[in-house]
Structure 1
């Protein structure tokens, strides 16, 4: 997205800052946004793009944990047997939109046709077309009945298990929204105007509203939360080639950046790449059985979902 296209979004964010927060905090947020844009322009001019498309790697089931830093995964890897083969690789995207836009292109049309995509990420609305996939299940559209259930991992898990058992696709991508904020173990609901407790939590560290150690602990606990569902998934489907990875990382002060802009910082591009296997023991029966799995049964507007994740 060009600077010309980003400018209206920046002005809209600034308006929300000053409408919903005190002048000092709002000014700090605007100052940060200007600094982040300067870094983005710097990298646009002097840093060549890099990263490997997912279809150039080997996997049959790809589990994406949104916004998972490589060092965060390394911190918890010893706690889970299925994370033993811990490695990293460079993603082709620095945020979800860029990851989707660059991975799912005409060059890989044949592979996409063999792929079932089960996703909790609202960016699929813009960048993916259901006709390009064996199955495109946009769980974010319909799964969460109550606001305090938004982005919960059990819905993604149940739909992934059902899709695999019913359709048996050659390949499947399961896109969880954790450990991206909101940090579910601490989540109490979104504030009315969103610019408070749950929006841009890493930027709250930058302007002094939260400590880095506190947010890192919550970030790690959010990863623990989703890994319990990954464990359930691995015991409820069959595959000899499963990879656990991420679409992008998370910046926590590197180059003055907090969060994930479309800037090719190494901390945003380096993500886990963990190979494991899955075996269905037949014990788990998905509890979530939606009436609709397409846009006709949608409960949620894409812009509303993206705003709750801090993108708008």
Structure 2
């Protein structure tokens, strides 16, 4: 990947330059492409892996009251694409069905080159919620239960979009911008906060961020109870909410790639046992990715707050 355009933008913006410098530190000047201290979730023993997008460990510990044994683990990634490349890139996962609300797997399928038994793109037309500009958690759970019926001998990965931006049902307006209206700005709340163009206190942001997780948890619990077997609830990465970055200590927001602060890589690992284990069998052939309109994928990613 050519990093020169990103470097050029960073040189024109002091905050982005500081972020780029921190990235160089965390990635050892490019000697590592992901957080090598993180776990490999796909090597673990589970029937169902429920992934909450951008869910910090401390946030999950405070808000979640799900059954099971919880511990803190370290992710290999600070973004979804990094999570996918580090954990499934080039891997034979024909014993696994990936049910996802996040279009990043489709967007980067050629470079990730993972083989799944099937991929269920819930973000396509029938699963996308235009009002909120995202995929609702109940839609993901329903798709996961259908996938379980259709593939009873496969492991399931269920990738929820929440608590990742956008904030479902948020009607709060802050001075300097309205991040609840996707047409009001092409940049999400984290970018606006990072660049000082949104006047908001951290407590208010935390309330919205927490509420997004709260909105998802009942549907996560429904999936845990109905799928059975051994379920793990985790996250692909965390999120910065105005904490000081490292080593350059500016206030960071969002989840920049290649930066491995505790807020970005400390994620939950909740193990829940419920009934007999699934008998897993690999498919003889990998899944052929269904095509999607490039403009639709780009629009979905913009709504979800992903910058180009």
Shorter-chain TM band:
0.7 to 0.9
Aligned partners of 1:169 and 1:203: how far apart in 2? 45
Aligned match of 1:304: 299
Find 1:92's aligned residue among 67, 76, 79.
76
C-alpha spacing 1:193/1:38, structure 2 compared with 1 (3 Å): farther
Aligned with 1:249 (options 220, 223, 238)? 238
How many positions carry a matched residue from both structures?
Answer: 274
Q: Give the strand-richer structure, 1 or 2.
A: 2
Any conservation in 2 of the 1:93–1:99 contact (CA below 8 Å)?
A: yes
Q: Does 1:195 align with 2:186?
A: yes
Select which of 253, 256, 261 maps to 1:261: 256
Larger helix percent: 1
Deviations 1:109-158 (A, max 9, x none): 1xx10001000111111334798111101111221253435221121111
Structure 1 partner of 2:4? 4
Measure the CA separation in 1 of the matches of 2:214 and 2:191.
Answer: 19
**Contact 2:162/2:216, CA 8 A, preserved across alignment:** yes
Aligned to 2:285: none
Would the aligned equivalents of 1:121 and 1:176 in 2 still touch at CA under 8 Å?
yes
Q: Structure 2 CA distance, aligned partners of 1:218 and 1:279?
A: 35
* Structure 2: runs of 5 or more not aligned: 173-179, 277-288
Q: Which runs of 5+ in 1 are unaligned?
A: 15-29, 281-293
Q: Residue in 1 aligned with 2:270? A: 274
TM-score by length of 2: 0.78
- How far apart are 1:104 and its partner, in Å? 0.8
**Residues 131 and 42 of structure 1: CA distance in aligned 2, closer, same or farther (over 3 Å):** closer
- 1:284 alignment counterpart: none
Aligned CA distance change for structure 1 residues 31 and 275 (closer, same or farther; 3 Å): same
**DSSP 3-state at the match of 2:169:** helix
